[in-house]
Amino acid sequence: MTKTGFSATCTCGEVALTASGAPILSAVCYCESCRKAGRHFEQAPGAPSVVNADSGVEYCLFRKDRVKVARGGQHLQEHRLTAASPTRRIVATCCNAPMFVDFTKGHWLTLYRDRLPADAPPVELGVMGKDLPAGATPAKDIPTYSTFSPMAIVRLLAAWAAMGFRRPKTTW
Ligand SMILES: [Zn+2]
Ligand SMILES: [Zn+2]
């Protein structure tokens, strides 16, 4: 049985999100942006490590309508790599733990897997392998795709259909 329903907390516990249902997908991303943002977050005082030794960042993707900020919303701050970017990464400023990635044009929310409990679903595949730095190889024995995996796209579309093709906004 796949576990459904998770609480995602920052390192100090001030901020908690609830994510209901099973993740749409659990994946490790090797893209340049995830790594760049991750390295940036890691430099903040007390921040947890974000980027794996193999240069990937692990995530669990949930439907946007199934993730709520349960407490500590006042600590959340958004970070965009460029002002015009549609992607914002949300950090808990109480302990500098990154919480989730919001592609504002999308219907899914990408939670940093490290914020989920130890029994969070394991990553199933790697995406954006084309951005792996020279000499780096994926550490886990799972399929790694150059860009996105067809299965990931199918699951995202299925989730969107189940949501009635809505794109809820994430607010707190
Ligand atoms: Zn990425
Ligand atoms: Zn915190």
Q: Which fold has domain 6-162?
A: glutathione-dependent formaldehyde- activating enzyme (gfa) (3.90.1590)
Shortest-distance ligand to the CA of residue 59: 1
**Domain spans in the chain, listed from the N-terminal domain onward:** 6-162
* Ligand 2 centroid to residue 47 C-alpha, Å: 9
CA of 62 to the centre of ligand 2 (A): 21
DSSP characters for 44-68? STTPPP-S-TTS-EEEEEEEGGGEE
- Ligand number with the minimum distance to the CA of 148: 1
Q: What is the pTM of this model?
A: 0.96
Q: How far is ligand 1, taken at its centre, from the CA of residue 154, in Å?
A: 18
What percentage of residues in the chain have a pLDDT greater than 90? 95
Looking at the predicted structure, is the pLDDT value of residue 19 above 70? yes
pLDDT digits (tens, 9 = 90+) for 104-137: 999 999 999 999 999 899 999 999 999 999 989 9
Q: Exposed (0-12), middle (13-18) or buried (19+): which is 148, by Cβ within 10 Å? A: middle
Which tens digits make up the pLDDT trace of 31-62?
Answer: 999 999 999 999 999 999 999 999 999 999 99
